[in-house]
Structure 1
Amino acid sequence: MSAVVTKSVPVVVFPSEPAGGGNINLSSVDECHAGLPVTSLLVFDNPIVDPVETIKRALSEALVHYRPIAGRLADEGGALRIACTGEGVSFVGASASGNLPPTSATLQIKDIALQYPADLCRHSDPLLLMQVTEFSCGGFTVAATWNHAVADGKGMAQFLQAVGELGRGMPTPSVLPVRSCEEAGSLPVVPASAVAMHRAVMNLANKNLVALDVTVPWSLIRRIKVEYGCTVFEAVAAVLWRCRTRAVITDPEAAAPLSFACNLRKHLGTKDGYYGNCFTQPLVYAAAGTVANCEIGDLVNLIKCAKEKVLLDTSNGECESERQGSTPTVDQIKNLLYNILAVGSWRNLGFDGADFGHGSPSRVVWHMEQVAGPCCIACPPCKGKDGVNVVSLCVKPEHVDAFLAELASM
């Protein structure tokens, strides 16, 4: 990046008050994603006083309420746990001689975010790494990289909101956190065979995918919503699914599945404040020729039907996509890996509600170093963009131009 970033030596931030230990059992959904690192980058235009020290202090206070985040993964008799050891999280303060990251911020993530030393998090690694970078223009960034075992996107957004509240002088977070599966209420259940499949697929890293920062225009989204009566996510997912399929798959008979994430908290009645993993990822199966050539409304309807099937099944606390032997094998996934598009949304998770003293972020960026297959994330509204900002790792270099051309033609 054009700015020169100077990082301090990493330090360990501990909870500001001592407490006892104990273990947190992982749910089956936690186990599916244990060890997978994810980064959220929050960009703030408006300065605050000494952002590095302010956020570092607030982080220490937040860990009192979110003690599992200061712990470590542990394997006890083959079962994964979070051991609340109080070993703390890694923190780096940094300064940058330039303006805030441009639109292509995700391409420079290594300068402004800490990353784990290996592709997947090890048991000995902290469950959270945080870097706060102050830019000479006065703005700053907050980058949180975490082990997916401890929280999903909704949960990490809740934690960052709590850090902001404590940094602004609130005595306690406005949301009482819950991490114990036993206290959470209903949670989705993934069969052991599917857990094993998910964990095996995590090791099928594709490092030849290009990071792209694209915008799906509001004019297009509104037209699809009005015509087909759908949500913003359904419209954006249908657009990405068709454009990418046209760009990368030449065989009309080849499978071109879509995977998307469904937050199940409100549908299962999970206790407010639960920040562990509580979502499912159904697969929508369709042939490439169908996806490439049908009306966009037909794709919207396929996505709607898949969502309805998942929600109908939540009364049993069971994931529709994992039922009745429907879980694909690792070999099947491996053969289809580049054909499958995973789409998620961070738009309603709460990352844009994090406020460290002078308002919400102007931009939220998703990043992952390790993806098994193509992935797109719709991010919260980005200042200055007339549409939904999508950060993606979904095409190989040879398919970039075709993918962007398809998006432009919509």
Structure 2
Amino acid sequence: MSGSFVVTKSPEMVVQTSKPATNGAAVADKKIELSPFDRSLVRTQTKVLLVFEHPINEPMETIRRSLSRALVDYYPLAGRLAVDGNDYYIDCSIHDGVTFATASLPAGGLDGDATGARHDQSAAKAGGCNRANFPLLTVQVTVFACGGFVVGVVWDHSVADGFGMAQFLLAVGELARGLPTPSIVPLRNLSPMQLVMPPVTYAVMRFIGGMPSCDLGAGMVNVTAPSTFINRIKSSGTTPAAAAFTVFEIVTAVVWKCRTRGVMADPAAPAVLLFSVNVRKQLGVDDAYYGNCMTLEMAMADSGEVASADILDVAWMIRRAKEQISDQDSSGELLKAIGELGERRVGYESVVFVTCWREIGFEDVDFGGGKTGRVMTFSQNFAMPLCVICLPCKWDKGSKVLSGCVTAQHSDAFLREISTLTNNLTD
């Protein structure tokens, strides 16, 4: 469907827990301390759209009821951020609830990218995060005339990372399908000793905070790395290890190489890739923990090297950076390199941040009509060059990427580089 359309939206309401909140058999804590991982993301909104092609019975009311029931176990999501001295925490003493809204489109249906073009009007809109006592979670259900629907979610990143929010939505879906309780008993309040942020991640966060600002809103684009291209890369390795490159490594290599070629002004300038990594396993944190447990890792080379390197070589750079996560001997060198980047005030032309949404759980959410057809995130003004890669989509053969990594000035060059690279290796 193309052209104009009318969205009918209901007034927002507050959904509270369906009964007094619990934490398993224990009485709910009134104060959830934020870990160092959480504190670095206070007041950072994250947005996701889950597209479902098959109808369910009374989707708006079904999801509202299930949301209320899920909040019994995930009660911190119904709390509010509060401050004790200089430290934020989640105040769960009142359980103010989450924001819920519904909307409908009287004509049209779900048709891939056209749905994405509508999502600014059909998705959840969170209240301004600067106002006092704002909700940590906003959910909107938008129903299309075809019976398909979209669940839009906006949450404060300090309360959950992507894995954690997917876990919560999986629980809502289980309750919507008639399960008496969620299959995973969630964890949120852990000992501070279990959530020690690595020094490299602290250094990267300080470096990001000191980066010069840039306007990336007009350069937002959606691109796809075709599955034929990804499979060609996987089959072109000369060693078993090369042949086993992950989709993350291949797609990230495409983004890093093509962006560097598109924006490079000085081949001798650094090209810095930052990417997020789930470290629950490395820290011994149970998978049921839904707070933040992601580090930031770094790969770096001269811009000219990244721009001219074979795509396999770029993927190797990324793999070596991933291996540094558990290599304590490399942390000293990384800290030195990050410090030097900060001193040089390295910014837009050199740095890109990649976060991967592949297999984190959003694609498995099911409210009763089948699993998610497509996972999207909102176009938004990123504070730094950023790409959300590997967004699941059952309708396309390839890996979806939402790119906010170039300004409008470099957008055409970036897209041209991606097209040239993927077409040359697909033909």
TM-score w.r.t. structure 2 length?
Answer: 0.87
Task: Report what 1:290 is aligned to.
Answer: 305
Contact 2:36 2:195 in 1 (8 A): no
Task: Report what 1:17 is aligned to.
Answer: 19
How many residues are treated as equivalent by the alignment? 404
Give the alignment of 1:347-362 within 5 angstroms.
Answer: 347-362=358-373
Contact 2:274 2:296 in 1 (8 A): yes
Residue ranges of structure 1 left out of the alignment (5+ in a row) = none
Contact 2:50 2:375 in 1 (8 A): yes
Change (3 A) 1:307 1:166: same
Matching residue's letter, 1:74: A
Instruction: Write the distance in 1 (CA, Å) between the matches of 2:320 and 2:64.
Output: 45
Residue 387 of structure 2 corresponds to residue 379 of structure 1: no
Instruction: Write the distance in 2 (CA, Å) between the matches of 1:128 and 1:332.
Output: 38
Instruction: Write the distance in 2 (CA, Å) between the matches of 1:346 and 1:106.
Output: 17
Residue ranges of structure 2 left out of the alignment (5+ in a row) = 22-27, 422-427
Task: Report what 1:115 is aligned to.
Answer: 125
Matching residue's letter, 2:48: S
Q: Offset at 1:327?
A: 4.5
Secondary structure of 2:170's partner? helix
Give the alignment of 1:392-403 within 5 angstroms.
Answer: 392-403=403-414
Matching residue's letter, 2:120: K
Secondary structure of 1:257's partner? strand
Instruction: Write the distance in 2 (CA, Å) between the matches of 1:108 and 1:16.
Output: 32
Task: Give structure 1 regions of 4+ aligned residues with deviation exceeding 6 angstroms.
Answer: none
Q: 1:55 aligns with which of 33, 43, 63?
A: 63
Q: CA RMSD in A?
A: 2.7
Secondary structure of 1:252's partner? coil
Residue 146 of structure 2 corresponds to residue 137 of structure 1: yes
Q: Offset at 1:361?
A: 1.1
Give the alignment of 1:2-401 within 5 angstroms.
Answer: 2-19=4-21, 22-84=30-92, 85-97=94-106, 98-100=108-110, 102-103=112-113, 105-118=115-128, 124-182=133-191, 186-190=194-198, 194=203, 197=206, 200=209, 204=213, 206-226=215-235, 227=237, 228-229=242-243, 230-313=245-328, 320=331, 324=335, 327-328=338-339, 335-367=346-378, 369-401=380-412
Q: Deviations over 1:254-292 (max 9, x none)?
A: 222111111111232211310011111112112211111
Instruction: Write the distance in 1 (CA, Å) between the matches of 2:203 and 2:167.
Output: 28
Contact 2:176 2:368 in 1 (8 A): yes
Deviation larger for 396-405 or 289-298: 396-405
Q: Deviations over 1:25-69 (max 9, x none)?
A: 111111111111011100000011111111011100010010000
Q: Offset at 1:131?
A: 0.6
Deviation larger for 375-384 or 65-74: 375-384
Same amino acid, percent of matched pairs: 42
Contact 1:73 1:123 in 2 (8 A): no
Contact 1:152 1:277 in 2 (8 A): yes
Change (3 A) 1:329 1:254: closer
Q: Offset at 1:115?
A: 2.9
